[in-house]
C-alpha cells in the first residue's frame, strides 16, 4: 500500500478534527468530569462541595455491597460471554451446512439483535414472570418453585439468559462470516485424509476461527459490563436483595436514584480502570495464542 504524505500539518489536523471533537465531547469531557466529581463530596443540589481526596474510593472499596456487586459482575459477565458465544458458535456451524432454507434460518437468527434491551427484558418477563408469565406459570404448575422475584439464583439465571439471548445474534453473524472465509480446500483435504467432522472442527475450524472468537470475547465482555443495564433494570431492578446488582447497575442506583454523586463517580472511575485493565490483559496475553 502506498502511504500518502501531507505537506504541513494544517490539512491532516483538519481531517482529524471531527473524530477528535467527538472523542473529546463524548469521552474525555465526561470521563474528566467523573474523575473530578469522584474527589468531591457534594449535597444533591450542588450548593456545597468539598474536596475529600480519595475518601469516596476508600469508602466504596470497603463496602460489602460493592464487593457483592463486583462478584455478581464476574459471574454475570463470564456466564453471558460463554453462553452467548457457545450458542452462537453452535448455531453458526449448523447454519453453515448446506441445508434447505439456510438463508431463512440465518435471517431469523439475526433478528434478536434489533430488539432494544428493555424490550427484550419485557419479552422474557412475559415468559418467565411467576404469575403472569407463560413459562413461569407452567413451571409452577409442574411443581417447580419458580419465583425469580424472590429467588436470587433464579433471578441471576434469568438475566444471564436474557442478556445472552440478545448477544447471540451478533456473535452468530461474526462466526458465520468467519466460517465462510475458511478455505473449502483445507477442509476437503482433511476429509480426504480421513478426519471426521468433530476432528475437523477441533483441529481446523476452531484455530482458524480464533481471531473472530477473540474479537467477540472482548466485545461480549464489554457488552456484559456496560450494555446490560436495560435488561437488568426491566427484569429484576437489581433484586431480589442485591442478587442481580452488577457494578454498572450500582453506579446508576447510587448516582441517579440516590443522588450520591461522589460515590457514584468513584464507582464509575473504578469501573473504567477495571475495563481498561481487562482489555489490556486480553490483548497482551490472549492475543498471542490467536492465529491471524
Partner 1 sequence: MRRRFLAQASLAAAAIAAARTRPAAAQAPVEIQFWHGLPQPLGGQLEGIVAAFNATQQGVKVMPSFRGSYPETMVAAIAAFRANAAPHVVQMFEVGTGTMMSAGRAVKPVHELLAESGVSIDFNDYLPAVRGYYQASDGRQMSMPFNSSTATMFYNKDHLRRAGLDPDVAPKTWEELAEALKKLKAAGIASPMTTSWPAWVQVEQVSAIHNLPLASLGNGFDGLGATMQVNNPVMVRHMDNLIAWQKDGLFKYGGRDNAADALFPAGEVSITMASSSLRARLLRESRFAWGTAMLPYYSDVAGAPRNSIIGGASFWALNRGPAGGRSAAEWKGVAEFYRYLSQPEIDAKWHMDTGYVPVRRASYQVAKSQGFYEKNPGTEVAIEQLLRGGETTPNTRGIRLGGYVEIRNIIQEEMEKSFQGQQNGQQALEAVMQRANTVLRNFERQNRG
Q: Which is nearer to partner 1, 43 or 188 (CB)?
A: 43
The burial of 182, by beta-carbon neighbours within 10 Å (0-12 exposed, 13-18 middle, 19 or more buried), is given as middle
**Nearest CB to partner 1, comparing residues 178 and 262:** 262
Nearer to partner 1, 83 or 125 (CB): 125
In angstroms, the CA 174 to CA 168 distance is 10
Q: What's the min distance (Å) between Cβ of 32 and partner 1?
A: 12
Give the shortest CB-141-to-partner 1 separation in angstroms: 11
Nearer to partner 1 (CB atom), residue 88 or residue 247: 247
Minimum separation from the CB atom of position 104 to partner 1 (A): 39
Q: Least separation, in Å, of the C-beta of 131 and partner 1?
A: 6
Q: How far is the CB of 253 from partner 1 (least distance, A)?
A: 8
Residue 62 or 192 with smaller CB distance to partner 1:
62
Residues 6+ apart with CB under 8 A from 225: 73, 77, 246, 247, 248, 271, 275
Which residue, 259 or 280, is less far from partner 1 as judged by CB?
259
Binding-site ranges for partner 1 (CB under 8 A): 41-48, 50, 65, 131-132, 149-152, 237, 239-242, 253, 256-260, 263
Query: Measured from the CB of residue 234, what is the shortest distance to partner 1 in angstroms?
Result: 13
Amino acid at each position: 500500500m502506498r502511504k500518502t504524505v501531507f505537506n504541513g500539518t494544517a490539512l491532516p489536523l483538519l481531517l482529524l478534527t471531527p473524530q477528535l471533537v467527538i472523542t473529546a465531547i463524548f469521552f474525555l469531557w465526561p470521563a474528566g468530569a467523573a474523575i473530578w466529581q469522584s474527589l468531591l463530596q457534594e449535597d444533591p443540589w450542588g450548593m456545597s462541595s468539598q474536596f475529600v481526596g480519595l475518601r469516596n474510593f476508600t469508602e466504596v472499596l470497603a463496602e460489602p455491597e460493592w464487593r457483592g456487586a463486583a462478584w455478581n459482575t464476574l459471574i454475570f459477565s463470564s456466564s453471558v460471554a460463554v453462553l452467548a458465544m457457545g450458542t452462537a458458535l453452535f448455531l453458526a456451524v449448523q447454519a453453515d451446512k448446506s441445508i434447505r432454507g439456510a438463508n431463512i434460518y440465518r435471517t431469523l437468527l439475526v433478528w434478536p439483535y434489533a430488539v432494544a434491551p428493555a424490550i427484550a427484558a419485557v419479552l422474557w418477563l412475559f415468559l418467565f414472570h411467576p404469575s403472569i408469565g407463560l413459562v413461569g406459570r407452567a413451571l409452577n404448575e409442574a411443581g417447580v418453585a419458580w419465583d425469580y422475584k424472590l429467588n436470587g439464583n433464579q433471578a441471576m439465571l434469568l438475566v444471564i439468559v436474557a442478556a445472552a439471548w440478545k448477544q447471540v445474534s451478533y456473535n452468530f453473524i461474526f462466526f458465520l462470516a468467519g466460517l465462510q472465509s475458511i478455505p473449502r480446500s483445507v477442509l476437503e483435504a482433511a476429509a480426504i485424509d480421513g478426519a471426521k467432522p468433530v476432528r475437523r472442527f477441533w483441529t481446523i475450524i476452531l484455530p482458524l476461527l480464533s481471531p473472530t472468537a477473540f474479537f467477540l470475547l472482548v466485545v461480549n465482555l464489554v457488552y456484559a459490563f456496560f450494555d446490560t443495564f436495560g435488561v437488568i433494570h426491566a427484569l429484576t431492578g437489581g433484586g431480589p436483595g442485591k442478587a442481580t446488582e452488577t457494578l454498572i447497575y450500582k453506579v446508576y442506583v447510587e448516582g441517579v436514584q440516590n443522588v450520591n454523586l461522589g460515590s457514584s463517580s468513584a464507582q464509575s472511575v473504578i469501573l473504567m480502570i477495571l475495563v481498561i485493565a481487562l482489555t489490556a490483559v486480553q490483548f497482551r496475553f490472549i492475543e498471542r495464542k490467536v492465529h491471524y
